[in-house]
Structure 1
Amino acid sequence: MATGRTHRPATRSRGIPEATVARLPLYLRALTALSERSVPTVSSEELAAAAGVNSAKLRKDFSYLGSYGTRGVGYDVEYLVYQISRELGLTQDWPVVIVGMGNLGAALAGYGGFASRGFRIAALIDADVQLTGRLIAGLPVRHADELEGIVEDNQVSIGVITTPAGAAQEVCDRLVAAGVTSILNFAPTVLTVPDGVDVRKVDLSIELQILAFHEQRKAGEELESSLTAPPVAAKAVRDGGRRPGPDGDVPAVMPA
């Protein structure tokens, strides 16, 4: 569900397009599920279906990695897991700080998927002194005054912002000044960052609004279909799906 923008060029140093980079986690998730089931190989069609993309796009994406599979056999699952993990930087430890210990920040702190993917929660930070020292997911909340020292001591390069909108830019500025170069922003605001800093924005309300648009469009298509249906069918739609009786009356209950 993550949407966002990056401040780096459209292609990376190895020439992998950002659109391909964005799909690599989808492939990795599908491959990890196959690996857990001890599936040794997978065809491009099967993997594409599991990842929700078309097979031609998958083969093009993998060509950037130098992986072409074997005709009649497919792709080696374990090798692709390693190859994509290495490309995404998941074969090393990434210390992460979460700033903002409201409901969302606390929920993210308790998410077990971070550690299994190479992300270690180095610290939980909040400006509320009443939260300082409170244990959340086994970690004590640190006060915002310690932010710079925490980033330096843990060599943090990734920060997660889950503060209210009004505090997000200041937190972002402090993280960047302390040396953080990648930010995952859950605050409902657009952050301004210098060149060389990547920002990914996750806005649940925007995602819901997009879904509402599609629901409205589907409802409009159903209405249009009903208006262009044959007269009897259209009348049945207007009457709530009830069929005319033998005398042309619409019975209160549709006969079985």
Structure 2
Amino acid sequence: MTSWDKELPSGSREIPAASLGRLTIYLRALNGLGPDAASRVSSEELATAAGENPAMLRKDLSYLGSYGTRGVGYDVGQLTKRISDALGLNHDLRVVIVGAGNLGRALAGYSGFVSRGFEMVALFDVDPLVIDREVGWLRVSPVDQLEQVLESKRANMAILSVPPSAAQELCDRLVAAGITSILNFSPTILQVPQQVQVRKVDLATELQILAYHAQRVRDPEVSSESRTPRTG
């Protein structure tokens, strides 16, 4: 059977970024199996559900101390807990959103955060026409009260959805208030201390990458030409 008896030692090797990203996909696939699913899942079944390669899946799970036995599979409950523990999802994850524009309001109302263990605890903006309005289960607070609300709500993560001109100043305030994990939707590079983790989401860049791939599908000649070396 799958061995989970070897606990990760203190200070064990860090999980590579690519593997970390795939672990979140495996967890989503495990959660999607539903209550009526079998209690065990093979690496092939889980990889198929996650859209990944079985060999890659086994390598990624090895960072958790998982050494599955061929033909038996993984215990779904144990594997779910192990990945959740590795990702830090079994702690209180209390998130504030700074910026109550269209994107900020959409993020505040997204139910997928709650189902994955993230609690949205506050929403901020500078616009007097927006402050005190209710968005989902949150009431928009003024940015002037950022530090007080962060403390009272015991927030430990933040989402930035503000114009580039305001992003760095607000980031500095978040960091000074003790926030060390920031998801940045603002199209700018934030300067932060080494201990602060920032993940940047640039929707325009993602669309540009999709446009590139769409062009290759739409116009095979362009794709072929890009692969043909030119000689001078």
Asked if 1:75 corresponds to 2:64, the answer is no
Asked if the contact 1:135/1:141 (under 8 Å) is kept, the reply is yes
What is the alpha-carbon distance in structure 1 between the residues aligned to residue 82 and residue 23 of structure 2?
A: 10
State the shift of 1:189 in Å: 1.3
Asked if 1:219 corresponds to 2:218, the answer is yes
What is the alpha-carbon distance in structure 2 between the residues aligned to residue 181 and residue 143 of structure 1?
A: 21
State the shift of 1:67 in Å: 1.4
* Higher Rg: 1
What is the alpha-carbon distance in structure 1 between the residues aligned to residue 36 and residue 174 of structure 2?
A: 40
Q: Which residue of 2 aligns with 1:24?
A: 23
Q: Which amino acid aligns with 2:12?
A: R
Q: Which residue of 1 aligns with 2:83?
A: 84
Match of 1:14 among 12, 17, 31: 12
SS of 1:131's equivalent?
A: coil
Q: Which residue of 1 aligns with 2:93?
A: 94
Asked if the contact 2:29/2:46 (under 8 Å) is kept, the reply is yes
Matches within 5 A, 1:189-204: 189-204=188-203
Q: Which residue of 1 aligns with 2:44?
A: 45
SS of 2:97's equivalent?
A: strand
Taking CA–CA contacts closer than 8 Å with sequence separation of 6 or more, which of the two structures ends up with the larger relative contact order?
1
SS of 1:65's equivalent?
A: coil
What is the alpha-carbon distance in structure 2 between the residues aligned to residue 224 and residue 210 of structure 1?
A: 14
Q: Which residue of 2 aligns with 1:174?
A: 173
The count of residues paired between Structure 1 and Structure 2 equals 214
Q: Deviations over 1:59-83 (max 9, x none)?
A: 1111111112232121111111111
Asked if the contact 1:44/1:59 (under 8 Å) is kept, the reply is yes
Q: Which residue of 2 aligns with 1:7?
A: none
Asked if the contact 1:28/1:85 (under 8 Å) is kept, the reply is yes
Q: Which residue of 1 aligns with 2:154?
A: 155
What is the alpha-carbon distance in structure 2 between the residues aligned to residue 67 and residue 25 of structure 1?
A: 16
Q: Which amino acid aligns with 2:43?
A: S
What is the alpha-carbon distance in structure 2 between the residues aligned to residue 223 and residue 133 of structure 1?
A: 52
State the shift of 1:139 in Å: 1.3
Q: Which residue of 1 aligns with 2:164?
A: 165
Structure 1 runs not aligned, ≥5 long: 1-11, 226-256
Q: Which residue of 2 aligns with 1:186?
A: 185
Q: Which residue of 1 aligns with 2:127?
A: 128
TM-score by length of 1: 0.79
TM-score by length of 2: 0.86
Asked if the contact 2:216/2:222 (under 8 Å) is kept, the reply is no
Asked if the contact 1:69/1:76 (under 8 Å) is kept, the reply is no
Q: Which amino acid aligns with 2:152?
A: D
